[in-house]
Structure 1
Amino acid sequence: MGPEATCPRSWPLPRLRVRTWIEPVVASTQLASSLYDAGLLLVVKASFGAGASSNHSASPSPSPRDAPEDEQQRAISNFYIVYNLVVGLTPLLSAYGLGWLSDRYHRKISICVSLLGFLLSRLGLLLKVLLDWPVQVLYAAAALNGLGGGFSAFWSGVMALGSLGSSEDRRSLRLILLDLILGLAGFCGSMASGHLFQQMTGHHSGQGLVLTACSVSCAAFALFYSLLVLKVPESMASPSKALPTVDTVSGTVGTYRTLDPDQSDKQSVAGHPPYPGKAKPQKTIIALLFVAAIIYDLAVVGTVDVMPLFVLREPLSWNQVQVGYGMAAGYTIFITSFLGVLVFSRCFQDTTMIMIGMVSFGSGALLLAFVKETYMFYIARAVMLFALIPITTIRSAMSKLIKGSSYGKVFVILQLSLTLTGVVTSTVYNKIYQLTMEKFVGTCFALSSFLSFLAIIPIGIVAYKQVSWQQYGDVTEK
């Protein structure tokens, strides 16, 4: 009777754990996003193919020596300036509220609502292709996505679920694993995007129909999976690490030592006085992490926004399939960054891994500024192999300094900060690109390289404070 009584109890638990996996939602969402991003670029390019200046009244009047390619580049660039503004600013109206509701009521709120807006925006591109609407309708589609919380609310919700379902000593690996899933899905979508876009090319109104329909299908799957299948995991925080310290910032706990979970605890918080002149070290550490994340994100966003324009014009002049392959190359950093964290986390602290990633991206961006041939582009992308490590590791470090009940708010504040600065960066970089594309087309990439190396400074300060705090702990013990 004993085995028969225990057997029925053993089956539901594994099923429940499988349903807590957020990976299917991340994969399908990113697959839809990668298809949409490529489709958006190619649809906008086709819309501004001939007579770009007449189709886009906001573009400046071209000089007589301007080539049609330059006119098209300015038209596409001006479109993306407005589009990125809408995408970046509208989440400010709803993302924080969704994060607060997720912390207070249910963790899936921010994910499900953002996925609804995500699906509506993909439907907007599909309708534009089907009905041959003007490209300006895509601004409204982007606004619907932003009002649903956008990527800020979605990824903050994903990070919260990932942090809840992992222990502190494995959290960096857990979060970079989610980024790996994101990258693999994006790679597959980008590789297929150019081929899918070429389907039904015989009729102008049907160009890109298969691509956009696939994007909508993936977005719909992600929404319904999150609503009907996904379950919120129970917190795996260690009780021994849950002992509170000073509570200076709403939701912050622990000391700076939690940034390095692999080190043994040499002292307890209650047993030693706070660091001299810095009774609340976690507040300063969080602020420095915020600054580093924002500066580094400025470099990344600027490069990512300009790169599609860069590959469409001379000297590269890529076609649809090459554009898809180029986007796919960008997603390989998700794989290499995951492997990097897998190896580096065994021998380096979080701050060291962050700096490695920043050097990797800064070096690759500098090479990208001087690209003249397609093979040189892929070499520059290969140098960026650890570019994803900094932001993900910064999120992991922050999660070790705050309470689990505050994950939603803190993560969404970070993501909104990155989004807001990204909006400004997108506008500035597009204008810089327009002004410099005839003189030195790699100006934006050189600027990104400088910002990436600049972001190392606050991380270096964090590392110095870590060493100082550890030395003080050792002295106190003696």
Structure 2
Amino acid sequence: MGPGFTCPWSGSLSGFRVRTWIEPVVASTQVAGSLYDTGLLLVLKESFASDARDSSNYSANQSLGERQEDQQQKAISNFYIIYNLVVGLTPLLSAYVLGWLSDRYHRKISICTAMLGFLLSRIGLLLKVMLDWPLEVMYGAAALNGLCGGFSAYWSGVMALGSLSCSQSRRSVRLILIDLVLGLAGFCGSMASGHLFKQIVGHSAQGLLLTACSVGCAAFALFYSLFVLKVPEAVSKPNKVHPTVDTVSGMMGTYRTLDPDQQDKPNIQANPPTPGKEKPSQAIIALLFVGAIVYDLAVVGTLDVMALFVLKDPLHWNQVQLGYGMASGYIIFITSFLGVLVFSRYFRDTTMIIIGMVSFGSGALLLAFVKKTYMFYIARAVMLFALIPITTIRSAMSKLVKDSSYGKIFVILQLCLALTGVVTSTMYNKIYQLTLNKFAGTCFLLSSFLSFLAIVPIGVVAYKQVPGSRQGECADTQRS
């Protein structure tokens, strides 16, 4: 790959150097994260199961065993309530500051600091497994992760670098490509996680190989981001000097998105933006925020409960099945990427967002009535476009603000999602506990409702955008 190497997703990024690619950081971080997530859940399961076996009231009686399984589910759920509160709230102290520093001084500040937090949290789980420390240690590990910015600072930094490296007309595809890499890495990590957990079987050593691999991947991501990764130069400004780059025909250059993409054409004519467009842009950003938050409520709630749902009857998965099940969730990164490539040629961003929301809502509805393992995978298959909404919303927002504000706007969105995730996690876990013996799929029904509800603000954005875009196209036709 020489300096002149180009690829379909890079578009106008001639001379794009390998060291500016964020993908190696995303891939190694996600492998570490998928190993860590599976490892933490299995460590919790083994710890609470061991406590139940050691209790004096333990019996082989089937009815008592079922009650102990329910108690184990509630114990894991209660752990995750506190754990998710720590993970969601501690970044509020640092993520916005890191985003501001990244915009003002250096783009890698938020990514590298968050990488340090990731590494410390993975080391915390490794030490818990090696030294048989109490589970409460993981609250401290989560706090260290959050104080370093957590996922909010990390992912906002990744999205900022991804947005800088491409033009507006290619941004949705560029960001979904990063998500694709994340999904492929998560798939590989999850597929291997169950097997790695079983390699060393013992009391405190079970899961040692899994957690050690997670630490290794996190360390690689940190050192790569510190010493190898370089910040790409923004390509949006050169587009004004060489506007023909964005008018090249082809799959990437001809797809239609939100009205901000229509600004590319006025840029060719060197027409300044009218002051009257600022207020509509603010209203659109607000509606996009609302749609993203409501949709994220549905997604986060489903994922939080799903991990517990598959461990109990009727599915009652083991370690390997759990790894495969978590890996199936990463397939949507591939299908969502392919969906954006196809849909972007025929639909606007708002239409793609709605397609993704309908996909997830329908899958969550089916998930509520799962009784067999094959039914679970059918429900996951229906969610094949579930990743499109949040990624496309981020892309749309990046087109409405200056590139110097990417770090702040992305971290604000991520912090909003983190806050709502904290509320969602607590709410869904409590609902799951209350409905565990009645109808365990209640949470999935709620997620389906919220997913369809999120379509409302996006529909309003579509309604606001269509007339303006048509008028703009007519005006461009008349000028040509």
CA deviation after TM superposition for structure 1 residue 168, in Å: 1.1
Counterpart CA distance in 2 for 1:285 and 1:101 is 26
Residue 152 of structure 1 aligns to which amino acid in structure 2?
A: S
1:213 aligned partner: 212
Report if the CA contact (8 A) 1:90-1:143 is conserved: yes
SS at match of 2:189: helix
1:68 aligned partner: 68
Over 3 Å counting, the alpha-carbon distance change for 1:398 and 1:53 in structure 2 is: farther
Over 3 Å counting, the alpha-carbon distance change for 1:67 and 1:421 in structure 2 is: same
Residue 411 of structure 2 aligns to which amino acid in structure 1?
A: V
Deviations, residues 289-318 of structure 1 (Å, cap 9, x unaligned): 000000000000000000010000000000
CA deviation after TM superposition for structure 1 residue 257, in Å: 2.3
Report if the CA contact (8 A) 2:87-2:150 is conserved: yes
CA deviation after TM superposition for structure 1 residue 469, in Å: 2.1
Report if the CA contact (8 A) 1:358-1:453 is conserved: yes
Q: How does 1:5-404 map to 2 (within 5 A)?
A: 17-51=17-51, 67-201=67-201, 203-239=202-238, 257-259=259-261, 270=272, 274=276, 280-404=279-403
Report if the CA contact (8 A) 1:365-1:448 is conserved: yes
Report if the CA contact (8 A) 1:256-1:281 is conserved: no
2:246 aligned partner: none
Deviations, residues 112-166 of structure 1 (Å, cap 9, x unaligned): 0000010000000000000001101000000010001000000000000000011
Instruction: Return the TM-score normalized by structure 1.
Output: 0.88
SS at match of 1:312: coil
Counterpart CA distance in 2 for 1:343 and 1:365 is 24
Over 3 Å counting, the alpha-carbon distance change for 1:295 and 1:52 in structure 2 is: farther
CA deviation after TM superposition for structure 1 residue 476, in Å: 7.4
Counterpart CA distance in 2 for 1:20 and 1:122 is 26
SS at match of 1:44: helix
Structure 1 unmatched ranges of 5 or more: 1-7, 56-62, 243-254
Residue 342 of structure 2 aligns to which amino acid in structure 1?
A: V
Structure 2 unmatched ranges of 5 or more: 6-12, 56-62, 242-256
SS at match of 1:204: coil
SS at match of 2:234: coil
Deviates more, 1:63-72 or 1:387-396: 63-72
SS at match of 1:468: helix
Over 3 Å counting, the alpha-carbon distance change for 1:160 and 1:315 in structure 2 is: same
Report if the CA contact (8 A) 2:167-2:239 is conserved: no
Over 3 Å counting, the alpha-carbon distance change for 1:71 and 1:263 in structure 2 is: farther
CA deviation after TM superposition for structure 1 residue 474, in Å: 6.7
SS at match of 2:107: coil
Over 3 Å counting, the alpha-carbon distance change for 1:304 and 1:9 in structure 2 is: closer
SS at match of 2:310: helix
Counterpart CA distance in 2 for 1:104 and 1:264 is 29
Residue 398 of structure 1 aligns to which amino acid in structure 2?
A: M
Residue 459 of structure 1 aligns to which amino acid in structure 2?
A: I
Over 3 Å counting, the alpha-carbon distance change for 1:240 and 1:15 in structure 2 is: closer
2:250 aligned partner: none
SS at match of 1:206: coil
Over 3 Å counting, the alpha-carbon distance change for 1:356 and 1:154 in structure 2 is: same
Over 3 Å counting, the alpha-carbon distance change for 1:134 and 1:15 in structure 2 is: farther
After superposition, the CA RMSD in angstroms is 2.7
Q: What percentage of residue pairs aligned between the two structures are identical?
A: 74
Report if the CA contact (8 A) 1:259-1:350 is conserved: no
Counterpart CA distance in 2 for 1:260 and 1:54 is 66
Residue 338 of structure 1 aligns to which amino acid in structure 2?
A: F
Residue 425 of structure 1 aligns to which amino acid in structure 2?
A: T
2:249 aligned partner: none
Deviations, residues 401-459 of structure 1 (Å, cap 9, x unaligned): 11010000000000000000000000000000000010000000000000000000000
CA deviation after TM superposition for structure 1 residue 270, in Å: 3.9
Report if the CA contact (8 A) 1:266-1:474 is conserved: no
Counterpart CA distance in 1 for 2:338 and 2:28 is 22
Counterpart CA distance in 2 for 1:177 and 1:265 is 26
Over 3 Å counting, the alpha-carbon distance change for 1:9 and 1:80 in structure 2 is: closer
Alignment of 1:458 onto 2:457: yes
CA deviation after TM superposition for structure 1 residue 169, in Å: 1.1
Report if the CA contact (8 A) 2:240-2:267 is conserved: no
Over 3 Å counting, the alpha-carbon distance change for 1:283 and 1:69 in structure 2 is: same
Report if the CA contact (8 A) 1:116-1:148 is conserved: yes
Counterpart CA distance in 1 for 2:335 and 2:369 is 24
Report if the CA contact (8 A) 1:266-1:473 is conserved: no
Residue 172 of structure 2 aligns to which amino acid in structure 1?
A: S
Counterpart CA distance in 1 for 2:238 and 2:198 is 56
Over 3 Å counting, the alpha-carbon distance change for 1:261 and 1:195 in structure 2 is: farther
Alignment of 1:448 onto 2:447: yes
Residue 404 of structure 1 aligns to which amino acid in structure 2?
A: D
